[in-house]
Amino acid sequence: MMTCNELYQEALSRAGLKRTDPGVFDISCFMEKVLGISRFQLPIRGNDPVPTEKEQEFFVLFFRWQSGEPLQYILGSWEFYGLPFFVGPGVLIPRQDTETLAEEALHYLKGRQDPLAADVCSGSGCLACTIALKCQGASVYALELSSQALPYLQKNVDALKADVKILQGDAFFPPELPPLDLVVCNPPYLSRPEMETLDDLVKWEPEMALSGGTDGYDFYRSLPSVWGKLLKPGGALMFETGYQQGQKVKKILEENGFIKTRLVQDAAGIERVAIGIKSL
């Protein structure tokens, strides 16, 4: 029977990793998921024996990882804005970049009485649930088309007990909704050339959550007009934007009659969120 230290070293050896390599974090995540031992506890609990069934469970995860599957899918969940979200094949993995959009949404809704919001292209529901849970009195509609993503969305809403109503539908054809204070959307925004040069890890994620058409702007061009009609006067439409897309998306919002348009940078200094306000 292996000890925790021996299992850890065996995994590093098989992966060809040194203790300072980035992949060591992933190995540590598998240790924590299977054995409940974090990398910080390993020096203390390194001599603990590993039951054979736990060793086998660990290597099932390890071999999936070696095949190139994303860490988040293997773990089955990932954190977004301090909340845990179930993820897996068929749903976009929540990213730290998108927390900028969540932050702007919460800032905008703060102090509003029982605000009503919609999260378009909701995926895992990370934005919808974050808004519903972090903004007092907020209710959120989460719109998602994918039949593969919807079970994750439902599971997350149920697990977090968020005030989110799930709707299956096409973002280009909004359902009938009461007037909204806010619409947020992290749309597919990669261009066709970008889709052809995707990192191997990203290729595991659903194409329909990534591809924004030939130039990446299909959703940005179409959604402001149709979703703008559902906003209250003074309501906000907020998009996540890709690298170097911000200025063009801001212009599209202005061409659709939105005022007080602005761009917000993420932690890396990239223009990550485009915001427009519906005129009064």
Q: Give the distance from CA 268 to its chain's centroid.
A: 17
Residue type present at position 134 = K
Specify burial of residue 141 (Cβ count, 10 A radius: 0-12, 13-18, 19+).
buried
Which residue shows structure tokens 């609990």?
A: 45
Contacts of 129 (CB under 8 A, 6+ apart): 83, 85, 140, 156, 157, 160, 162, 164
Distance CA 150, CA 258 (A): 31
Helix (H) or strand (E) holding 100: helix 99-109
Q: Shortest CA distance to 181 belongs to which of 144, 230, 223, 225?
A: 230
Q: State both tokens at 47.
A: 């001599």
What's the rounded mean pLDDT across residues 135-151? Answer: 98
In the chain, the percentage of residues whose pLDDT exceeds 70 is 100
Contacts of 29 (CB under 8 A, 6+ apart): 71, 75
Buried b (16+ CB within 10 A) or exposed e, 67-99: eeebbbbbbebbebbebebbbbebbbbbeebbb
In the chain, the percentage of residues whose pLDDT exceeds 90 is 93
Is residue 196 scored above 90 in pLDDT?
Answer: yes
| Cα dihedral across residues 267, 272, 277, 278: positive or negative | negative
Specify burial of residue 104 (Cβ count, 10 A radius: 0-12, 13-18, 19+).
buried
Residues linked to residue 49 through DSSP beta bridges, in sequence order:
3
Of the pLDDT bands very low, low, confident and very high (cuts 50, 70, 90), residue 40 is confident
What's the rounded mean pLDDT across residues 267-279? Answer: 97
Q: Check if the beta carbon of residue 110 is closer than 8 Å to that of residue 102.
A: no
pLDDT at position 19 is 78
* pLDDT tens digits for range 231-251: 999 999 999 999 999 999 999
Residues linked to residue 231 through DSSP beta bridges, in sequence order:
180
What's the rounded mean pLDDT across residues 159-167? Answer: 98
* pLDDT tens digits for range 75-133: 999 999 999 999 999 999 999 999 999 999 999 999 999 999 999 999 999 999 999 99
> Backbone phi, then psi, for 48, in 5-degree steps?
-65, 135
What's the rounded mean pLDDT across residues 244-264? Answer: 98
What's the rounded mean pLDDT across residues 161-173? Answer: 98
Of the pLDDT bands very low, low, confident and very high (cuts 50, 70, 90), residue 38 is confident
Q: State both tokens at 178.
A: 């009461």
